Amino acid sequence: MKPLFVLICVFAVFLIGTRLFKHNFDYKLSGRMALVAMLLFTSLGHFLYTKGMSMMLPDFIPFRIELIYLTGIIEIVAAVGVFIPSLRITTGILLMVFFVLVLPANIYAAIKQLNYETATFDGKGISYLWFRIPFQILLILWTYFFVIK
């Protein structure tokens, strides 16, 4: 829920800002800035809640802690790549793939009722997927319309 809040709030702030300073709404810039802010925000979780996030992965996956750090770094690199014109489309496509690939971990965590912030099993459970799956779809569409298109 917090990443959605960041995404929408930053988008609104930049829409207003571009209207005030450029005298028109710059939807592309606002959408990119919102996505970058959300990516940087979520990347923090990979470093602040590493233990809990590693619990989102099944035990058979090796190097879970390292994988969490790697995905956090991927989010930071993607945030930069969104603003490099020659890398923008490639970054957007890879981000869309990334959003698809992380969904199983979110599903696994919901089934296990994991609260990754506390590294305990008292999370929201399956009901969380009613938010998470549409949010992943929104992120894929957002990336397509504001980064690739």
Whether residue 132 contacts residue 17, with contact meaning beta carbons closer than 8 Å, is answered with: no
Give per-residue pLDDT as tens, 87-101: 999 999 999 999 999
**In angstroms, rounded to a whole number, what is the distance separating the alpha carbons of residues 38 and 136?**
13
Question: Average of pLDDT values for 11-24?
Answer: 96
Rg of the chain in Å (alpha carbons): 16
Closest CA to 142 of 7, 6, 1: 7
Residue 28's identity, in one-letter code, is: K
Domain ranges of the chain: 2-148
Residue 112 has a CB neighbour count (10 Å cut-off) of: 14
Could you tell me which of 66, 45, 34 has the C-alpha nearest to residue 109? 45
How sure is the predictor about 33, in pLDDT bands with cuts at 50, 70 and 90? Answer: very high
- Crossing angle of helices 2-22/27-48, nearest 10°? 150
> pTM value?
0.94
Listed residue (149, 138, 145, 148) closest to 38, CA to CA: 138
Which pLDDT tens digit goes with each residue over 51-64?
A: 999 999 999 999 99
Q: What is the pLDDT of residues 99-122, one digit of tens each?
A: 999 999 999 999 999 999 999 999
pLDDT given at position 90: 98
